[in-house]
Amino acid sequence: MTDTLTPVLTDNWDEDRAWTLAAYERRGGYEALKQAVRIDPDDLIALVKDSGLRGRGGAGFPTGMKWSFIPQDNPQPKYLVVNADESEPGTCKDIPLMMASPHTLVEGVIIASRAIRAEKAFIYVRGEVLHVVRRLRAAVREAYDAGYLGEDILGSGTRLDIVVHAGAGAYICGEETALLDSLEGRRGQPRLRPPFPAVAGLYASPTVINNVESIASVPAIVRGGVEWFGSMGSEKSKGFTIYSLSGHVRRPGQYEAPLGITLRELLDLGGGMREGSELKFWTPGGSSTPILTAEHLDVPLDYEGVSAVGSMLGTKALQVFDQTTSVIRAVLRWTEFYKHESCGKCTPCREGTWWMVQILRRLDKGEGQPGDIELLQDLCSNILGRSFCALGDGATSPITSAIEYFREEFEAAMTTPSWELFPPAASTLFAKEGVAS
C-alpha cells in the first residue's frame, strides 16, 4: 500500500534539520533553479502549462495559464504573491510544508518569478503562525547568502527580492484580492473584478497570486519534466498533491499521493477508522466544501471526480467523522467561524451567516421552529452566487449538503438537543479505547 504514496514535496521531510539550506541541497535542492536560469521565461511558462499543474489552493485553475495572462508589454513592474494564509478549518498542508522544507517554496518562488519576469515577490503568511514566519525568513536569508536571491542570480542576469509578510490573521485574506489589499496596508476586503490581478493587482501592477503548494511543485516539474509529472494523477488532474487526513482516524497526518486516489485508500494508509468507529460523513476539501458520506469512499479525489458527486476538491482537507458526531453541531461550529470571519462588505454574507447561526443554534438545542429547515435552505439559496466573494458560497455548502444527506437528523433536532442524540461522552469513550488499543 505504501506504493500508493508519491513523496515529492514531502520527500525530504525526514532529513536531519530539513529546513536548512545544507540539508535541502543534499537532496538536490536548487538544482532545478540552476536549470531554470538557462531556460527562456516564456519556455518556463510553456513548461508549467504543458505539465498540467493546476492550482493547489482550492479552485484548481491551470497554473501556467495564469502565468501567461501577465501582459509583458505593461511598463509597470510585475509581482509574484504567494498565498500562504492557510486558514480553512481542517486544512493542514502548506504550514507543514513551509516548516519542514521552506527552501522548496523559496526555490519555486525564484523560478516562477523568472517565468513572469518579476523582480519582487511576496510570501503572505498568516500572522498567528509566527514559527513559520521565522523559518521562512531564515530560509530567505540563507538563499541570499548563497547567491540564489538578490542581484544577478547564479550569473544569469536575473534579480529577485523576496519579502515574507506576516498578515494580521483574517480568513478573508485567503481570498486573493483581499490579500492584496492587506499587503498594501488596507483592511482585507475583496475587490471588484475586473480588473483582474494579472492586469492590475498589487500596487495596480500585473500580479500572479498562487498557493504555496502550487509554487512549491514547480522545481520538481523543472527537474522531472512534463512526462514524469503527467505519469501521476489523472488525465485532467495531473501530478502529486498533499492530502490532509484528520478526524476519527488512527493515523491523521499529511499523505502525498497522486491526484485521483480515493478516501478508502487513504484511510487504509492512515490505519483505518479509530476503534469502534464507522464513517458517517467527511469533507473532501475543508469545511467550505459540501460534505460527502460513506457511499463516496471510492470517488477519485481529483477535481473532476469530486465535482461529479456535487462537491469540490478544495484544499484536500479530508476531515473524517464517525457515528458519534452530530452533523448539526459540526456544521454549526463551521458556520460560527464563517460568521466571525465575514468581512462585512456584502449583505448576503454579513447578514446571511448571522441568521444561519441563529437557526442552527436553535436546532442544536432541540428548540427548532416549524419551517426552520426550509428557512435554512432559503437562506443558503439567497447567499449562494450572490455574495461578493466565495466566503458566502463556502458557508452554505456544508449546510445544504448536510440537509441533503441527514435531513432526518435535522427533523429530530426540532425537539431533541444534539447532545442527547449524540452524547459527547460517547465520542470521548471511543477515543480513549482507540488509544488503549
Beta-strand relationship, 292-293 and 279-283: antiparallel
> In the prediction, which pLDDT does 425 show?
86
DSSP assignment of 14-63: TSTTTTSHHHHHHTTTTHHHHHHTTS-HHHHHHHHHHHT-B-TTSS--BH
Determine the Cα–Cα distance for residues 176 and 179; give it in Å rounded to an integer.
Answer: 5
In the Cβ-directed half-sphere of 21, how many Cα atoms lie within 13 Å?
A: 16
Closest CA to 119 of 56, 206, 179: 206
Closest CA to 355 of 373, 328, 379, 327: 379
> In the prediction, which pLDDT does 4 show?
86
> In the prediction, which pLDDT does 101 show?
98
Question: Over the stretch 255-293, which tens digit does the pLDDT of each residue have?
Answer: 999 999 999 999 999 999 999 899 999 999 999 999 999
Q: Are 4 and 301 in contact (CB under 8 A)?
A: no
Q: Rounded to the nearest 10 degrees, what angle do helices 347-364 and 372-383 cross at?
A: 160
> In the prediction, which pLDDT does 58 show?
81
Residue 336, class by beta-carbon neighbours within 10 Å (0-12 exposed, 13-18 middle, 19+ buried)? middle
Q: Are 415 and 313 in contact (CB under 8 A)?
A: no
> In the prediction, which pLDDT does 3 show?
61
> In the prediction, which pLDDT does 434 show?
46
Sign of the Cα pseudo-torsion (246, 289, 409, 279, in order): negative
In the Cβ-directed half-sphere of 35, how many Cα atoms lie within 13 Å?
A: 18
Task: List domains and CATH numbers for the chain.
Answer: 2-230 (3.40.50.11540), 245-322 (3.10.20.600), 327-424 (1.20.1440.230)
Q: What is the pLDDT along the chain (437 residues), one digit of tens a residue?
A: 346 899 999 999 999 999 999 999 999 999 999 999 999 999 999 999 999 999 998 888 999 999 999 999 999 999 999 999 999 999 999 999 999 999 999 999 999 999 999 999 999 999 899 999 999 999 999 999 999 999 999 999 999 999 999 998 899 999 999 999 999 999 999 999 999 999 999 999 999 999 999 999 999 999 999 999 999 999 999 999 999 999 999 999 999 999 999 999 999 999 999 998 999 999 999 999 999 999 999 999 999 999 999 999 999 999 999 999 999 999 999 999 999 999 999 999 999 999 999 999 999 999 999 999 999 999 999 999 999 999 999 999 999 999 999 999 999 999 999 999 999 888 775 555 444 33
Closest CA to 395 of 433, 364, 349, 355: 349
- 226: phi then psi, degrees, rounded to nearest 5: -65, -45
Cell of residue 293, nine digits: 458520506
